């Protein structure tokens, strides 16, 4: 009770990444991502609701509502009833309106053995969301099976106060480079497709062996992330070649980088930046090994503390500018929306994120089958790809709002050609699946 009383006094300005997401909000679009864990036994909804109720107070930046001030948006404590556990839906990551759902910006779903969390990106990134999902899952398993699970990794101690570092805007701590590098601005190839009806999100999952993927990646002298980035670029190049009569453009992938790998922080809020591996087919035809090599050297060059610090600093300068700080929020929203629509969203052909190999406390492992992660509904007509692994199970989850699945088909076909056995699952009709 003491923890809850203290938290009612807290409010948080949106972090450096989070300030963008509400400006992109539309009736038919929200920046919502989804994480899920598949258990080996069917979920008990009552026990899951009890676990959610017990865990949410430990995450004050998720047990929050978004509010609008004159100059900035901020998060305030939300003590309304909820969030309430619901049966899962066919089309996930539906728009999340700020005044709906008792103002909660998180949802919990269940279906069979699946526990799913959907969260608005204004609250935090996939690392923060995974901490919430895994802490809820651990508490559910404690309640359901009376097992001992020690706080470890993504599982936090729900009896402790949040560490102040969990609640910080870590961008502002590390935005101290002496120069602000320019942002990339060249237009890239964009997939053309037939938009699905409102609220429709097409999901295609590829499930495969981690060891098989590692073995193939090694054949190309690449990491798993480099190899899968190259496969997606290869698929997009094939899609562009298929569209005769259009001017060729560079193919680039928007790839979030977890900055906690380079800058020590325990923040549960957003702490990511974007890099853009890709190739320019106007320079000539690329073989697949050449694409892998290009991606490999790009990653080797950009994934270092100095360049990432410069990127953070560039993004932070606008928030630190004293003139911008006093500009009314509605003007900031207009400017940010125009920049994102006309510049930022055109910098990439698709999105790809790799959450890597997930580690859980040993006592939880016997109960877990696999994990899934979805970047959610794309802002424009393209596909998003998300990767996560657990044990020897690697899942690649595509999410798209267009009917055509050519990119996904080329992607999985390449994996099979390289000798990787892929099991496909989807919420689409059988004829639409690769």
Whether residue 232 sits in one domain with residue 110:
no
pLDDT band at 2 (very low <50, low <70, confident <90, very high): very low
Residue 217 domain-assigned (yes or no): yes
Residue 99 domain-assigned (yes or no): yes
Q: CATH number, domain at 209?
A: 3.30.559.30
Rounded to whole angstroms, the Cα distance separating 252 from 71 reads 34
Whole domain around residue 351: which residue ranges? 202-432
Whether residue 264 sits in one domain with residue 328:
yes
* Predicted pLDDT at 115: 98
pLDDT band at 332 (very low <50, low <70, confident <90, very high): confident
pLDDT band at 430 (very low <50, low <70, confident <90, very high): low
Whether residue 209 sits in one domain with residue 79:
no
Whether residue 289 sits in one domain with residue 144:
no
Whether residue 41 sits in one domain with residue 112:
yes
Question: By the 8 A CB rule, do 126 and 355 touch?
Answer: yes
CA distances from 6 to 9, 53, 117, 163 (A): 6, 18, 26, 13
pLDDT band at 274 (very low <50, low <70, confident <90, very high): very high
Please give the average per-residue pLDDT across 379-404, as a whole number.
Answer: 93
Helices (H), ranges, 243-379:
288-302, 305-320, 322-325, 329-342
Rounded to whole angstroms, the Cα distance separating 158 from 176 reads 34
Residue 195 domain-assigned (yes or no): no
Place of tokens 């701590």: 173
Whether residue 242 sits in one domain with residue 389:
yes
| Interstrand relation of 251-258 and 350-357 (parallel, antiparallel or unpaired) | parallel
Closest CA to 57 of 116, 17, 19, 7: 7
For the record, the structure tokens of 56 come out as: 């949410």
The continuous run of DSSP H or E covering 107 comes out as strand 106-111
Longest dimension (CA), the chain: 66
pLDDT at 174 exceeding the cut of 50:
yes
Rounded to whole angstroms, the Cα distance separating 233 from 229 reads 6
Q: What is the pLDDT of residues 148-167, one digit of tens each?
A: 999 999 999 999 999 999 99
Whether residue 289 sits in one domain with residue 424:
yes
pLDDT at 340 exceeding the cut of 80:
no
Instruction: For residue 366, give every residue at least 6 positions away whose Cβ sits within 8 Å of its Cβ, in sequence order, or none.
Output: 40
Residue 196 domain-assigned (yes or no): no
Residue 249 domain-assigned (yes or no): yes
Q: CATH number, domain at 39?
A: 3.30.559.10
Whether residue 207 sits in one domain with residue 152:
no
pLDDT band at 432 (very low <50, low <70, confident <90, very high): low
* Predicted pLDDT at 234: 98
Residue 337 domain-assigned (yes or no): yes
pLDDT band at 6 (very low <50, low <70, confident <90, very high): very low
Whether residue 226 sits in one domain with residue 345:
yes
Residue 188 domain-assigned (yes or no): no
What is the number of structural domains in the chain?
A: 2
Closest CA to 86 of 38, 54, 52: 52
Rounded to whole angstroms, the Cα distance separating 358 from 373 reads 12
pLDDT at 257 exceeding the cut of 60:
yes
Whether residue 78 sits in one domain with residue 219:
no
Instruction: For residue 285, give every residue at least 6 positions away whose Cβ sits within 8 Å of its Cβ, in sequence order, or none.
Output: none
Comparing 19-33, 104-118, 119-133, which segment has the lowest mean pLDDT? 19-33
Whether residue 213 sits in one domain with residue 148:
no
Residue 193 domain-assigned (yes or no): no
DSSP state of 80: S
* Predicted pLDDT at 11: 86
* Predicted pLDDT at 4: 42
Whether residue 154 sits in one domain with residue 209:
no
* Predicted pLDDT at 316: 86
pLDDT band at 195 (very low <50, low <70, confident <90, very high): confident
Cα dihedral across residues 239, 241, 246, 247: positive or negative: positive
């Amino acid at each position: 009770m003491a923890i809850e009383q203290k938290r009612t006094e807290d409010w948080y300005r949106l972090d450096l990444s989070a300030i963008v997401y509400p400006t992109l909000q539309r009736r038919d679009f929200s920046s919502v991502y989804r994480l899920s864990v598949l258990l080996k036994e069917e979920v008990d909804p009552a026990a899951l609701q009890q676990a959610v109720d017990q865990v949410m107070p430990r995450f004050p930046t998720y047990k929050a509502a978004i509010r609008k001030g004159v100059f900035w948006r901020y998060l305030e404590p939300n003590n309304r009833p909820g969030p309430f556990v619901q049966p899962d839906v066919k089309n996930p990551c539906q728009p999340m309106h700020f005044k709906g759902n008792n103002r909660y910006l998180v949802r919990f779903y269940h279906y069979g053995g699946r526990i799913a969390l959907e969260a608005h990106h204004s609250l935090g990134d996939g690392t923060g969301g995974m901490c919430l999902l895994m802490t809820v899952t651990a508490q559910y398993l404690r309640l359901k099976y009376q097992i001992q699970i020690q706080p470890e990794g993504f599982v936090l101690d729900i009896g402790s106060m949040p560490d102040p570092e969990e609640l910080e805007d870590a961008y502002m701590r590390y935005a101290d480079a002496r120069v602000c590098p320019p942002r990339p601005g060249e237009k890239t190839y964009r997939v053309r497709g037939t938009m699905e009806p409102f609220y429709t999100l097409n999901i295609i999952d590829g499930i495969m062996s981690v060891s098989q993927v590692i073995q193939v990646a090694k054949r190309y002298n690449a990491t798993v992330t480099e190899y899968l980035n190259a496969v997606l670029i290869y698929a997009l190049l094939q899609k562009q070649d298929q569209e005769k009569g259009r001017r060729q453009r560079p193919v680039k992938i928007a790839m979030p980088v977890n900055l906690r790998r380079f800058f020590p922080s325990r923040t549960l809020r957003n702490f990511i930046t974007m890099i853009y591996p890709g190739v320019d087919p106007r320079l000539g035809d690329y073989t697949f090994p050449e694409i892998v090599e290009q991606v490999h050297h790009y990653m080797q060059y950009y994934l270092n503390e100095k360049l990432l610090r410069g990127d953070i600093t560039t993004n932070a300068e606008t928030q630190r500018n004293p003139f911008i700080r006093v500009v009314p929020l509605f003007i900031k929203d207009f400017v940010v929306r125009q920049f994102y629509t006309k510049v930022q969203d055109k910098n990439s052909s698709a999105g790809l994120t790799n959450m890597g190999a997930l580690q859980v406390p040993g006592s939880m492992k016997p109960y877990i089958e696999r994990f899934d992660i979805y970047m959610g509904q794309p802002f424009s007509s393209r596909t998003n790809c998300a990767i996560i692994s657990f044990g020897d199970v690697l899942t690649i989850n595509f999410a798209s709002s267009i009917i055509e699945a050519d990119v996904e088909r080329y992607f999985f076909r390449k994996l099979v050609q390289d000798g990787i056995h892929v099991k496909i699952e989807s919420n689409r009709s059988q004829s639409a699946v690769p």
